[in-house]
Amino acid sequence: MNYWKTILIVDDEPTTLNGLKKTLEIWSEDNGELVEILCASSGKEGFQILKEKKVHILLTDIRMPEMTGLELVKLIEQKEEAPVVIVMSAYSEFDYAQKAIQLGVVNYLLKPISKAKLIEAIEKAKKIEESREHSGLIKKVVDEQLLNIEENENQTHALIKEAIQFIDNNLHERLNQKEVADLVHLNASYFSVLFKEQTGLTFSEYITRRRLQVAKKLLYSTDLPIVVIAEKVGYQTAKYFIKIFKEFEGFTPSQYRKQLAKEEERKVK
């Protein structure tokens, strides 16, 4: 069965563990969501599960023998895809809450935990996890240098902004530096210098990066054949598109698409 997300509950008190699991199972059924709920009765057992399986939300007690909840959080905080963490404690000492917050814990619940508080905390964690996942995918298809240009748009020369807008709207066409310079009424040599000064990229580098940016989005979000994507982003042949794509990304377009698909599959397992 494919689950939407996996929640791991770690608590050395069997009654509490079973109660939390039951509450979350009812919440999951009421919301019509396939949520896998795993349980561990110690920090060590919880850590073993986290090593073997992708966990999206971790709900852990702080005070446990052998390995405390905070020690567990410290062990997983360096993981590339660490879960969103909620900690629980029967102790209201401020230093526990403070240490938990310093470790990036998103919520701190005091026992006994009401059903309403538990569900509220899980729903908040769910939103945070979805936001992190979305950000991770965006990073995979976004070119940082293009992002910097967009973020500094207000400081970009008006004529260069006009040129960029024209390029972005005509990526499927053959783009010539002199023609774009003429369009914004600048000498081709001056346009070349000004473009590099304003964007940090040469005219041809900008076009290549922008074309590959659009291509990556199409590879991720559509099932269009490679040859069609190549045409859509202005490459006359798929062979040349594949060559340029591999030079910049280290993968062919097909390999890139498969890699993203694998990551998507792993996230729903």
Q: What span, in angstroms and rounded, lies between the C-alpha atoms of 206 and 198?
A: 12
DSSP one-letter string for 215-231: HHHHHHH----HHHHHH
What is 5-137's CATH number, 3.40.50.1460, 3.30.920.30, 3.90.1150.10, 3.40.50.2300? Answer: 3.40.50.2300
Q: What is the pLDDT of residues 52-87, one digit of tens each?
A: 888 999 999 988 988 988 899 888 876 657 899 999
**Location of structure tokens 């914004």:** 184
pLDDT at 2: 46
Decide if 5-137 and 144-268 have a common fold: no
Is 87 strand, coil or helix? strand
pLDDT at 147: 85
pLDDT at 266: 59
* CATH code for the part of the protein at 144-268: 1.10.10.60
Intervals of the chain under pLDDT 70: 1-4, 78-80, 92-94, 97, 102, 133-140, 263-269
Q: What span, in angstroms and rounded, lies between the C-alpha atoms of 153 and 189?
A: 22
For the chain, domain boundaries: 5-137, 144-268
38 forms beta bridges with 8
- Identify whether the C-beta of residue 10 lies closer than 8 Å to the C-beta of residue 58: yes
14-30 and 115-141 are packed helices; what angle lies between their axes, rounded to 10 degrees?
70
**The two three-digit tokens of residue 256, written as one number:** 């890139």
107 forms beta bridges with 86
Helices of type H across 77-187: 94-102, 115-141, 144-151, 158-169, 177-183
Q: What is the pLDDT of residues 170-209, one digit of tens each?
A: 999 999 999 999 999 999 999 999 999 999 999 999 999 9
pTM, entire model? 0.56
Residue 102 one-letter amino acid: Q
pLDDT at 92: 67
**The two three-digit tokens of residue 162, written as one number:** 């006009």
Q: CA-CA-CA-CA torsion for 68, 71, 72, 74, nearest 10 degrees? A: 160
**The two three-digit tokens of residue 213, written as one number:** 């940016």
Q: What span, in angstroms and rounded, lies between the C-alpha atoms of 66 and 46?
A: 12
Q: Which of 72, 88, 97, 81 is nearest to 129 (CA)?
A: 81
∠ CA 29-30-31, rounded to 5°: 90
Q: What span, in angstroms and rounded, lies between the C-alpha atoms of 72 and 82?
A: 12
**The two three-digit tokens of residue 34, written as one number:** 């396939």
pLDDT at 136: 63
- Identify whether the C-beta of residue 87 lies closer than 8 Å to the C-beta of residue 60: yes
Q: Which of 50, 99, 94 is nearest to 75 (CA)?
A: 50
